[in-house]
A = this chain, B = another copy of it.
Amino acid sequence: MSPLGIVKRNIRRADRAAVDRLSAFGVATIHEAMGRVGLTQPVLKPAWPGARLCGTALTVLLQPGDNWMMHVAAEQIQPGDVVLAACTTDNADGFFGDLLATSFRARGAVGLVIDGGVRDVAELHGMRFPVFARAVHAKGTVKATLGSVNVTVVCAGAIVEPGDVVVADDDGVVIVPAAIAAEVAEAAARREANEEAKRARLAAGELGLDIYDMRGKLAQAGLRYID
């Protein structure tokens, strides 16, 4: 009954081509393309400036102060995976450092998103291993209690299924369900094309009020201009 103590070995990862297409877009664009959903809360920060990642979620459910499941997860990594870790309770301990990064990378992982703490951030930066975490904390962890690997988790407020696409950049972290990855990439491309045209008009001094035809709606809503 409980989702604890389980490792799911075979998961359906999002289509690789769709993941590759999504990797070209920023988090804000993808979030908009999905209809303004899919973001984590804005508490996950890059562990080093400029970190960016896009890959398929290998999910981990941790216990507080315990990173045992990170080692179990390592074995399940396939090239292109992002390890996405949640915890059964709020905990900022340093679940992850440069040794695990070395291991994850050796297995093919392209980054980590964790609703918890990490350490060795200078080394992670040196390795250019992308990490997005709630906290930086040197606090060590034990290996004593079972969590799970590849179960559905909630990470900083977002639902993540194993195999979903995870994209993270300076603006945050977005989760794209595997089933709609291609469709979202399509919508993101359309959105970006559309933005390019608007950017040029705005740069020329045109107003959003006119481009988006807002004046009538504002007046109808009762906006009053006074001197």
A interface residues, Cβ below 8 angstroms from B: 1-10, 26-28, 31-32, 34-37, 39, 41-42, 49, 63-66, 68, 70-72, 74-75, 88-94, 97-100, 102-103, 105-107, 117, 119-122, 135-140, 142-146, 152, 154, 157-159, 169-172, 174, 180, 183-184, 187, 195, 198-199, 202-205, 207-209, 212, 214, 217-218, 221-227
Contacts and interface: CB of A to CB of B under 8 A. Distances in A.
Contact of A209 (B71, B102, B159): B71
Nearest to A50: B122
Contact of A199 (B3, B41, B99, B144): B99
A95 to B, nearest CB: 11
A104 to B, nearest CB: 9
Contact of A99 (B139, B170, B198): B198
15 contacts: A5-B222, A5-B224, A31-B139, A42-B138, A63-B65, A64-B64, A65-B91, A91-B91, A94-B171, A99-B195, A102-B203, A106-B203, A122-B170, A152-B159, A154-B158
Contacts of A107: 205
A128 B217 CA distance: 33
A52 to B, nearest CB: 9
Contact of A65 (B65, B68, B170, B227): B65
A188 to B, nearest CB: 12
A180 B32 CA distance: 36
B223 A72 contact: yes
